[in-house]
Structure 1
């Protein structure tokens, strides 16, 4: 299925894993944070549209395709953009650990840091020389993991209270963080039933499923194999995660067509292991076409 907002998920073919090489780097671990990230300062912005000349035609083709095929393009109100803006510049996550593998404190912190590092690859696209691109109001978008969901508490080998822990609350056959705290279930922003209130709500889930090939993504978050994610903790680009984050911000799949003059970009599954210039300009173009809903 396509990665369109409003659908439950977007499937990514298992061939993705075979087609993309892994580039290794080094990632440090960062301790879990029990507090929600503070809103990021608003910055001076440039309000213009200036993609490279060679990308103007394919970008227009992509947007025309989006307008023609998304069933509720402007009525849908839970893109990643909506979540960031509702929070004032940050995102909270829940990890759905759909695996029997034990998780140490060190592994937990490395999973958190990898998620932050990969997410920033997309949000940094929205900056021009340190300023927000085309009225984008944030210099960064902090990502904080506030919860973990598991079947068995003994799977989690730590005793600190840095994250909320949800045990054996099963939804879609997998552990689920409290629905009362989830943006997907409370799109009006009312977290009064969440035990930790707004500070402990989660906007998206990182759903890591044992034995899964490929991935899925949407407004609810991103899903992929737990083995793939853990094996990619030192990778420069966690390709499947990056592709699925693109769906969270509204970007489409390209299974059945390719824009003029471009063929290798991360949203075309199997063609690029990293975010390309064209991916970045598609993200910026989506923002350009939805920013009016925030009075920008």
Structure 2
């Protein structure tokens, strides 16, 4: 039996646990439950709705509201070590519902209307050589082509070795940061997904011995070099196959990758686009447990169309994550800029 502790909080009535199964030594739990601290001991939460156990997604349980300084998830292992990526606690159950109604439309705070309009007009004029609406490989396009999930390949441009535990930590950190953006959209203006699983399906290295695991949880690509760095197989990549067909992918369509997490030794900057995100390996590993990994959040923003702000300072907005080095976390202005993209593109997905 193992436990994962949530951060201290006051009032909760729901929790989510994200489990994954790598078909190797990391498996789903046999059971799990949520407990709260009553001042002297942990006790099971009351009237739990049930504890689902599904792979590669968040599993939601609701319960009678409890005021406590601590919550924890208690798990019983099944066929191997438990694959727990993240736990979320909620004051109210997530997603649309009677206590958390979805936004009925475009309704930003009044003080953000003008700067948001300035940003969108600037993007229409300059983005992608004037082809903002014609471009079809934003993160949005990838998400909807998959029906609500994102697959990743890790490009390991380093001579360092990677243990299985580090592999899983990298996956967990990536999923945690990615969903900070996706959580912005839950319940907003018809956005259909309440969760976006982020799966790592491949690793690319120069030397197989760098990867210190033998299970088959991910496809491994060795010494396939592009841009002087290891590359996952092009036939599996969305960047190379934007029609969404992967007939020559060795692992089949299920192992295609939409984006790459490209980690480079000594890289002095960050880059992001429809192909994924590139960061210094040392920075990523040093911040692997950080609440907010600023550079990764910024670059994921680019994948979803958000611009840099070298030429424009929106009215009244000087500190936000998409304006480099001014905020370490996603701000309210960042949230509404992302929602503005959804407002303008959602019709192409039938919403």
TM-score range, shorter chain: 0.7 to 0.9
- Kindly tell me: are residues 89 and 109 of structure 1, through their superposed partners in 2, closer, same or farther at Cα, counting changes over 3 Å? same
The CA distance in 2 between the partners of 1:31 and 1:167, in whole Å, is 25
Once the two structures are TM-superposed, the CA of residue 30 in structure 1 deviates from its matched residue by 7.3
Higher strand share: 2
SS across alignment from 1:246: helix
The CA distance in 2 between the partners of 1:155 and 1:146, in whole Å, is 17
Q: Once superposed, which parts of structure 1, at least 4 consecutive aligned residues long, lie more than 3 Å away?
A: 28-40, 42-47
Structure 2 unaligned residues grouped into runs of 5+: 1-6, 8-16, 25-54, 60-94
The corresponding residue for 1:53 is 110
The corresponding residue for 2:183 is 124
* Contact 1:32-1:145 at 8 Å conserved across structures: no
Does 1:85 find its partner at 2:144?
Answer: yes
The CA distance in 2 between the partners of 1:288 and 1:182, in whole Å, is 27
The corresponding residue for 1:33 is 22
TM-score (ref. length: structure 1): 0.85
The CA distance in 1 between the partners of 2:282 and 2:18, in whole Å, is 18
* Contact 1:32-1:112 at 8 Å conserved across structures: no
For 1:84-163, what aligned pairs fall within 5 Å after superposition? 84-127=143-186, 132-163=187-218
- Kindly tell me: are residues 63 and 29 of structure 1, through their superposed partners in 2, closer, same or farther at Cα, counting changes over 3 Å? closer
The corresponding residue for 2:132 is 73
SS across alignment from 1:93: strand
Deviations 1:234-261 (A, max 9, x none): 1111110000000000000001220000
SS across alignment from 1:62: helix
TM-score (ref. length: structure 2): 0.72
The CA distance in 2 between the partners of 1:117 and 1:38, in whole Å, is 12
Q: How many pairs were matched up? A: 265
- Kindly tell me: are residues 190 and 196 of structure 1, through their superposed partners in 2, closer, same or farther at Cα, counting changes over 3 Å? same
Please, what is the CA RMSD of the aligned residues?
A: 2.3
Moved more, 187-196 or 162-171: 187-196
The CA distance in 2 between the partners of 1:32 and 1:147, in whole Å, is 15
Kindly indicate whether structure 1 or structure 2 has the higher relative contact order, using CA contacts under 8 Å at least 6 residues apart: 1
